[in-house]
Amino acid sequence: MTYADLLLRWVSSFTELRVARVRSAAERLHEPPAPIDPADPRMLVYRRRARRLAQNLLRLGHVEEASLERWRTVPPTLVWCSGGRGFLCGARSDDVRERLVRAPGVTMTLLPQHNEPEVWLVSGDHGTVAEAAVAAGVHFAPDRGGDLLAALSPLKDELARASSEGLPDAVERWNLEARRPVDRWKSVSGGSAGLAGLYRTRQLPRHYYFRRSPGAPVVRLDTPERRLAAAWRIASTRLSLGYCRSRLIFFVPSIGFGLPLLMDRGLILASGRLPTWADGAWGYFDIDPRRATDTARILGLKIKVSLRQVSFGREEET
């Protein structure tokens, strides 16, 4: 059993929890093999793993945001996808799984994920599975991920609503071209700060700013969505998305900024699986062309489609 499965089973014992408490439990699962001073920079590696472990419960639909500080555990839910199958999310219980396995005409498969909760796939006729789910006390819900993506506005619309504000003196500029993530933020002088790009203050708490072109007004990125919108707008001039039509895998480039939660959830709901890392991109599974097209529209990126394998990369290389 992975750490993520252990964390999910513990969370399933509660209807609602403080986010800090979930992250603290994840940190205890990711304690270093030998004691390290909490102030030691090496502890950042373990804290990041623990934070990702907790955040993935939210991405997979096992918990929902009750507020900025609290998560609510989702009741056992069978999300029905295409192809005569669905997956279980929400509170995890062996009793629920055993009741579904015993139902006539229902097949259940465990799909392991590396260091993440196993995906419980349920297969069978739509009506039979729906009846079995109700009998097992599981909420049966059709997948709405595609409709969710279709309803989302382009990220650039968030930038249009941002207010203008002067750029502080002590700032760092984001460089997408840097080879290593640690080199992507560089301090800039007052003259260099006139360039287009994404900026942030050097001191904590960070404040983010964006200038779309040299000499253009600077806008304050006061929400996570606006920060993501600025980063993806810069990426849209250099990168492309990838789509393998035969395997239905959708590749999103890794730029150091993830997708907004609703977009990420809309892609994950197609399979119940987290994306996997491959050649500088995150690959989402069982993505139909409509979801891929809507994601490209929201991000403002082009898609390179392949029948067999995607050669994914920067736009000028494709």
What CATH code is carried by the domain that includes residue 97? 3.30.70
Q: Would residue 81 count as lying in a domain? A: yes
Any residues with CB less than 8 A from the CB of 161 and at least 6 apart, and which?
A: 226
Given a contact cutoff of 8 angstroms between Cβ atoms, the answer to whether 216 and 196 are in contact is: yes
Could you tell me the sign of the dihedral formed by the alpha carbons of 109, 110, 111, 116, in that order? positive
Same-domain check for residues 23 and 65: yes
All residues at 6 or more sequence positions from 112 whose CB lies less than 8 Å from its CB, including other chains: 118, 119
If asked whether residues 66 and 84 sit together in one domain, one would say no
- The per-residue pLDDT for range 100-143, each reduced to its tens digit, is 999 999 999 988 777 788 899 999 999 999 999 999 999 999 99
Share of the chain above pLDDT 70, in %: 95
Residue 229 lies in a domain: no
Inter-residue contact 304 to 241 (CB < 8 Å): yes
pTM score, two decimals? 0.86
In a domain, 302, yes or no: yes
pLDDT level of residue 33 (50, 70, 90 thresholds) = confident
Q: How confident is the model at residue 309 (pLDDT cuts 50, 70, 90)?
A: low
User: Quick check: 318 pLDDT over 60?
Assistant: no
Give me the torsion for CA of 303, 305, 310, 314, rounded to 10°.
Answer: -30
The Cα–Cα gap between 213 and 211 comes to: 6
The verdict on residue 186 lying in a domain is: yes
Whether residues 112 and 174 fall in one domain: no
**Domain tally, the chain:** 4
Residue 73's nearest CA partner among 85, 83, 65 is 65
Range of the domain at 134: 77-143
Task: Identify the pLDDT of residue 112.
Answer: 78
Task: Please state, in angstroms and rounded to a whole number, the distance separating the CA atoms of residues 40 and 44.
Answer: 8
Between CA 131 and CA 140 the distance in angstroms is: 9
Claim to verify: residue 248 and residue 212 sit in the same structural domain: no
Picking from 58, 73, 88, the residue at the C-terminal end of a domain is 73
Q: Which residue has the tokens 């507020």?
A: 67
Q: Give the residue from 73, 102, 133 where a domain finishes.
A: 73
> Does pLDDT of 2 surpass 50?
yes
Domain match, 257 and 274 both: yes
pLDDT of 317 reads 32
Q: What is the CA radius of gyration of the chain?
A: 21
Rounded Cα distance, 317 and 314, in Å: 5
On whether both 214 and 194 belong to a single domain, the answer is: yes
What pLDDT does residue 178 have?
86
Alpha carbons 67 and 151: distance in angstroms, whole number:
23
**pLDDT tens sequence across 159-180:** 999 999 989 888 999 999 888 8
The arithmetic mean of pLDDT across residues 224-246, rounded, is 93
Q: What is the pLDDT of residues 241-286, one digit of tens each?
A: 999 999 999 999 999 899 999 999 999 999 999 999 888 899 999 9
pLDDT of residue 192: 67
Final residue in a domain of this structure, among 31, 49, 73: 73
- In this prediction, residue 194 has a pLDDT band, given cuts at 50, 70 and 90, of confident
Percent of the chain beyond pLDDT 90? 71
Residues 105 and 126 in one domain: yes
Verify that 123 and 135 share a domain, yes or no.
yes
- 311, 277 in Cβ contact below 8 A? no
Residue recorded with tokens 């603290």: 24
Which of the four pLDDT bands, split at 50, 70 and 90, describes residue 312?
very low
Residue 150 within any structural domain of the chain = no
Is 153 a domain residue? Answer: no
Residue with tokens 């491959």: 278
Within a domain: residue 233?
A: no
- Strongest mean pLDDT among 7-21, 177-191, 273-287: 7-21
What size, in residues, is the chain? 318
Across the chain, the runs of DSSP E, i.e. the strands, are 16-18, 63-65, 70-73, 77-80, 85-89, 107-113, 116-123, 139-142, 171-174, 185-187, 197-201, 208-211, 219-221, 241-244, 249-253, 276-278, 281-284, 303-306
Cα 206 to chain centroid distance, Å, stands at: 22
Residue 223 has pLDDT above 50, yes or no: yes
- Helix ranges restricted to H, 136-244: 145-151, 156-160, 224-235
The span from the CA of 164 to the CA of 240, in Å, is: 29
Q: Residue 191 above 70 pLDDT?
A: no
Q: Yes or no: say if 159 and 226 are a contact pair by the CB < 8 Å rule.
A: yes
Q: Does residue 124 sit within a domain?
A: yes
